[in-house]
Every structure is written in C-alpha cells, then in structure tokens.
C-alpha cells in the first residue's frame, strides 16, 4: 500500500504545479467536493490525461470544484486542490482556459 502511494506521488510530480504563475486575478472561490472513484469511473470523469490518479473539474456556474481520486492520498488530494484555486501544471493552461471559456459563454 505504501509502495502504491509512492508511485502515485511520483506520477503526480511528473506533472508539476506551476507556482511561479499566479492564478487569474478574478478566479472565483470554488467549494470542493471530493469523490473516491474506480479506475473505470476515472476514465469517464477525467478524460484529459490518461492514465490518471486524480483530476479536478471546476464547475464555475455552481461554484464547485469536483475532485476525483483513485484513493485518498494526501499529496494527490492537495495537488488537485491547487487546481481548484486556479493553479495549472507547468507549461499548461487547462484551468486558466476553462475559466476564460466560461466567462466568454456567460
Ligand atoms: Zn494536476
């Protein structure tokens, strides 16, 4: 079990959070909801990067951020919660683009 958690952590750090960049200034406060899901559910819920051990899905219209995890690993959970406050991976704009797209559709 410990070994598995270590693997997840390593995999997670492969996609590093970009703490050098501030989230968008108008990023909204999102209430997070944590869900532990199966690998099959993960494939449906987190289609962006496969295989994944977790993902964060911001729902701006309802002020929520859904966090899906394969298991409740603390580092993985924290990683996804950073996404919920608008932090992207280094070299990516996934959360930023989602917020811009949402604002454009309002
Ligand atoms: Zn991530």
- Say how many Å lie between the CA of residue 12 and the centre of ligand 1: 7
Q: Is 81 contained in some domain?
A: yes
- Say how many Å lie between the CA of residue 105 and the centre of ligand 1: 25
Average pLDDT, the chain: 84
Residue-range definition of the domain harbouring residue 59: 2-14+28-105
34-63 b/e (C-beta count within 10 Å ≥ 16 → b): eeebeeeebeeebeeeeebbbbbbbebeee
User: To the nearest whole percent, how much of the chain has pLDDT over 90?
Assistant: 54
2 pLDDT more than 80 = no
- Say how many Å lie between the CA of residue 75 and the centre of ligand 1: 11
Cis bond leading into 51, ω under 30°?
yes
Q: Identify the band that residue 15 occupies on the pLDDT scale cut at 50, 70 and 90.
A: confident
Q: How far apart are CA 104 and CA 71, in angstroms?
A: 35
Q: Is 55 contained in some domain?
A: yes
Q: Is 64 contained in some domain?
A: yes
- Say how many Å lie between the CA of residue 100 and the centre of ligand 1: 19
Task: Please report the pLDDT score of residue 49 as a whole number.
Answer: 63
The angle that helices 74-84 and 2-14 make with each other, rounded to 10 degrees, is 30
Q: Is 54 contained in some domain?
A: yes
- Say how many Å lie between the CA of residue 61 and the centre of ligand 1: 22
Task: Please report the pLDDT score of residue 6 as a whole number.
Answer: 39
Q: How far apart are CA 42 and CA 70, in angstroms?
A: 7
- Say how many Å lie between the CA of residue 103 and the centre of ligand 1: 22
Provide the number of structural domains found in the chain: 1
Q: Is 21 contained in some domain?
A: no
Contact 48, 15 (CB under 8 A): no
pLDDT tens-digit readout, 41-93: 888 888 666 667 888 999 999 999 999 998 889 988 999 999 999 999 899 89
Count of C-beta atoms within a 10 Å radius of residue 93? 13
């Amino acid at each position: 079990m410990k070994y598995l958690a270590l693997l997840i952590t390593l995999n997670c750090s492969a996609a590093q959070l970009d703490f050098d960049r501030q989230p968008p200034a108008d990023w909204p406060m999102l209430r997070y909801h944590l869900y532990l899901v199966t690998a099959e559910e993960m494939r449906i819920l987190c289609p962006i990067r496969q295989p994944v051990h977790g993902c964060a899905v911001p729902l701006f219209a309802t002020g929520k951020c859904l966090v899906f995890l394969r298991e409740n690993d603390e580092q993985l959970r924290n990683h996804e919660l950073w996404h919920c406050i608008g932090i992207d991976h280094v070299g990516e704009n996934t959360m930023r683009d989602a917020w811009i797209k949402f604002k454009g559709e309002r």
